[in-house]
Chain A
Amino acid sequence: MSTLETPPPDAAALAALILRVSQKRDRTAYAALFKHFAPRVKAYLRRVGLDGAEAEEVTQEVMLSLWRKADSFDPAIAGAATWIFAITRNARIDLARRRRGLPTTPEPEEEGHSPSAEALTLAYEREALVRAALDTLSTEQQQIVRLSFFSETPHVAIADALGLPLGTVKSRIRLGLAKLRAALEDKT
């Protein structure tokens, strides 16, 4: 890799790229998004238990969805990474359903209710606030929050994996989330 390579786009730039895809069907913007997100999406899918080939396949589906659903991206509601996270999570759930020959979950229909208070800050600013708030958690709380996101299984299995009672896992999650909420509530 060349050191002259441009730095990765920040959250505002990523949101702007998605808007260029939705409004202008801009393939250059799409290529930049692919370069940034596809390797992260694949990393996430590997973390939640997909093998290399599955992760590759689902990553391609997610990136295709980015192109198709770009017009549902609203920078006042979600940051770019948040939006991609939601698409990736749903694609992973849908993979399991397709394998069992079941239809995928229908897209939620827009109800048109405004995001109200939670949109007071722009969503990409919320991501920066979340990043800062995560740093204030203890190592144990961070670990358990990460495991909750990056695990193929619910809390019972996390408790088994860590050798902790389920109650301890739940209370650590609650403490961690309460701290996150306290750091974010007034700002988001």
Chain B
Amino acid sequence: MIRHHPAPETLLAHIAGTLEPGHALIVTVHIEACVNCRAEAARLEATGGVLLDELDSEPLSTGAFAAVLARLDEPAPPKPVRPRQADLRLPPGLRLPAALRGTAIGRWLWMGAGLRYSRVTLPWAPKENVMLLRVEGGRRVLRHSHGGAELTQVLWGGFHDITGAYGPGDLQEADETIEHQPLADPEGCLCLAALEGGLRLPWISRLMGK
């Protein structure tokens, strides 16, 4: 049972194409897991279709149709090579979301007692600050706040903090006004998180309370 979803305006921005790439990835992963948000996303996309269809036409240059016709038989561009992904030894039975397939995934790195992270790099937006976060059961991520919005999707296990309890499929949207100290459930927690603003912010040192 998924209890926490992206805010309506976040889902709308995702469908409109104005969400930052890191956040867009997290919302894509959530939609993959959440049948309700999938239905809502389909409704919003249909809204985009209707609005596009209603626009007053903007004429194309003469020759545009001929130019496209001449290219129809060109071969399609090759698919991008899949980047390297470390073997992360995930909890049994867990598969990484399909939306992560085009990303590069680094090995687990130590971040604190019972706390590891793996950097996720989007080849199409390499400056985005996205990571997998593994917290052992009963461990607490040190109190932190954010320079910008942070989106966290629970892939396995769960955690809770002042804003509520989060389990598999849940998405937490925390803005810069929230200061929280998530505590992992007894079985531990595996999350995918994206922080707004790129690598300018020393996120990890903030997490560590340094």
Contacts and interface: CB of A to CB of B under 8 A. Distances in A.
Interface of A: 27, 30-31, 34, 38-44, 46-47, 55-56, 59-60, 63-64, 67-68, 77-86, 88-90, 92-93, 97, 102-109, 111, 115-118, 123, 126-127, 130-131, 134, 145-146, 148-155, 169-170, 173-174, 177-178, 180-181, 184, 188
Contact of A188 (B39, B48, B76, B101): B39
A104 B43 CA distance: 26
Contacts of A130: 43, 46-47, 49-50
A168 to B, nearest CB: 12
A146 B48 CA distance: 9
Given A106-B79, A149-B16, A180 B47 contact: yes
B8 A174 contact: yes
Contacts, number: 185
Contacts of B44: 177
B13 A148 contact: yes
B99 A41 contact: no
Contacts of A123: 46
A18 B103 CA distance: 32
A66 to B, nearest CB: 9
Interface stretch (B106-114, B119-127, B130-138, B159-167): B119-127
11 contacts: A39-B57, A41-B52, A46-B58, A47-B55, A81-B52, A85-B49, A102-B125, A103-B124, A177-B12, A180-B43, A181-B43
A140 B38 CA distance: 26
Is chain A's binding surface mostly helix, strand, loop or mixed? helix
Interface in B90-112: 98-99, 101-102
Interface in B2-30: 7-9, 12-13, 15-19, 21, 28
Is chain B's binding surface mostly helix, strand, loop or mixed? helix
A98 B91 CA distance: 37
B65 A34 contact: yes
A77 B42 CA distance: 8
